[in-house]
Structure 1
Amino acid sequence: MQASTLGSSFADFNDRRVTQPNLEQHWHRLSTAQRFAFYTLAKLGYQLLFVRQSQNEKTAVARQDDRLVTIDDEGDIDFNPSLVLRENRAT
């Protein structure tokens, strides 16, 4: 019984999400430059998905249909990021 419980906890170890932040929480994580860049994208129909934050940088990820874009701390938009979402990752 303990082994099966322990095994299932290891399966979830790589999933770093504790709770899923809402859009407002992601919005507050954006830098001013990222917010201005996202305004431009929003006019084109993009939606903010999340903000990935590390010690040195914050990267915003937005989507329009199946097209992903990223916005770095400086507000530079990458329309061709090398990024794979968990929902699209091969198992």
Structure 2
Amino acid sequence: MQSEKKPLVERRGVQPEHSVWWEKLTLAQKFSASSLGKFGYELQFVRKSEGKSLAVLTCNNGVATISDDGEIDTSPNIQIR
């Protein structure tokens, strides 16, 4: 009895460059988001407030934020609903 081969499943999800949020990032945020993407983080959304943007990424149960200037915070004081 031959076992059927199952098709390969893409597990990486959407590349960050294809996200609708990607175009809303600053250049510095794009570099930082690409770096975090290597560790499994995915861009979820971008918040704009008072002329600044904050990119929010998730990985499993972890959350990271990236400021306008590309500074990464892997322990942000933020709650996602």
When the two structures are superposed, what TM-score results if normalisation uses the length of structure 1?
A: 0.67
**Residue in structure 2 matched with residue 61 of structure 1 by the alignment:** 56
Q: Is the 8 A contact 2:31 2:70 kept in 1?
A: yes
> How many corresponding residue pairs?
64
- Alignment partner of 1:42 out of 37, 40, 48: 37
**Residue in structure 2 matched with residue 78 of structure 1 by the alignment:** 73
Aligned structure 1 segments of 4 or more residues deviating by more than 3 angstroms: none
Q: Which has the higher helix share?
A: 1
**Residue in structure 1 matched with residue 6 of structure 2 by the alignment:** none
Q: Give matches, 1:2-13, under 5 Å.
A: none
Cα separation, 2, equivalents of 1:69 and 1:24: 17
- The share of aligned pairs that are identical, in percent, is 38
- Alignment partner of 2:22 out of 24, 27, 50: 27
Cα separation, 2, equivalents of 1:35 and 1:61: 12
When the two structures are superposed, what TM-score results if normalisation uses the length of structure 2?
A: 0.75
Cα separation, 1, equivalents of 2:20 and 2:50: 18
Greater relative contact order structure (CA < 8 Å, 6+ sep)? 2
1:3-26 Cα shifts (integer Å, max 9, x gaps): xxxxxxxxxxxxxxxxxxxx6321
Q: Which has the higher strand share?
A: 2
